Amino acid sequence: MGTELNLIKKLRDETGAGIVDCQKALAKTNDNLEKAIILLRKEGQKIVAKKQERQTKQGLVGIYLHSNGKVGAIVALNCETDFVARTEEFKELAHDLAMQVAAANPLYLAPEDVPAQVIKQEEDIYHEQLVNEGKSRAILDKIVKGKMDKYFEEVCLLRQKFIKDDKKIIDELIKERIAKFGENIQIKDFKRLSL
C-alpha cells in the first residue's frame, strides 16, 4: 500500500492530475510510472481541447520588472473562475509569462497574429537568399517553411521556448496548466517596455 501511495504522489507531482486519475492511470499501466505519465498527458490533451472553447472572464495581470529597472513586462492572463485566478500557481504562471515577455521580446501571440504582409516579406527574403545560394527549386519551399517555423519561434510568444525550461514551449506550458486547473486559460494581451 505504501508503494502505491508513493507512486500516486510521484505521478501527481509530475502531472498535476487528481488522485483518482492517477490511480486509474497506474492501474491501466500496471504501475509503470513512465507509461502512466504518457497516458495522463494524452488524456490531458483531450481535456485541453475541450476546455479551450470555454469562456475566460476572470484572471489577473502578471508583472515583471528586471532588476536593473530598465525592462519590464505585463501580461493579462485570463481563466474561467476567480477561484483559480487567486491561486499561487496561477499568479506564478502570470509572473513567469511576464518574465518571458521581458526576456524574449515576442512581437505577436501566435503565428496567426502575424500580419500577412510581414509573413510574405519574410518568405521573400528567405526565398531570395536560397536562390542566391543556388538551392534547387525542388527543395526551396521546404527550406522556406522550416525558416518560417524558426521565425515564428522567435517572434510568437506561444511558440517560444520557456526561459525556465527550454524543453517546452509556452503553448505547452499553458496546456499543462489547463489540464492541471481543469479550466481554460488564455493570454489576453501582453506588453514589453524598455529604456
Q: Which fold has domain 115-155?
A: GTP Cyclohydrolase I; Chain A, domain 1 (1.10.286)
Query: Residue 32's pLDDT is what?
Result: 87
pLDDT computed for residue 48 by the predictor:
52
- How much is the pLDDT for 118? 93
Rounded Cα distance between 26 and 92, Å, is 29
* Residue ranges covered by each domain of the chain: 2-51, 58-108+156-194, 115-155
Segment 112-122, tens digit of pLDDT: 999 999 999 99
pLDDT < 70 stretches in the chain: 1-3, 13-18, 44-56
pLDDT of residue 70: 92
Rounded Cα–Cα distance for residues 79 and 173 (Å)? 14
What pLDDT score does 137 carry?
A: 76
**CATH number, span 2-51:** 1.10.8.10
* pLDDT of 38: 80
Give me the pLDDT at residue 49, please.
Answer: 57
Position 86 scores a pLDDT of 92
Looking at residue 88, its pLDDT comes to 94
Nearest to 79 by CA among 100, 93, 64: 93
Supply the CATH classification number for the domain 58-108+156-194: 3.30.479.20
pLDDT for the residue 50:
57
pLDDT at 44: 66
Instruction: Say how far apart CA 166 and CA 43 lie, in whole Å.
Output: 23
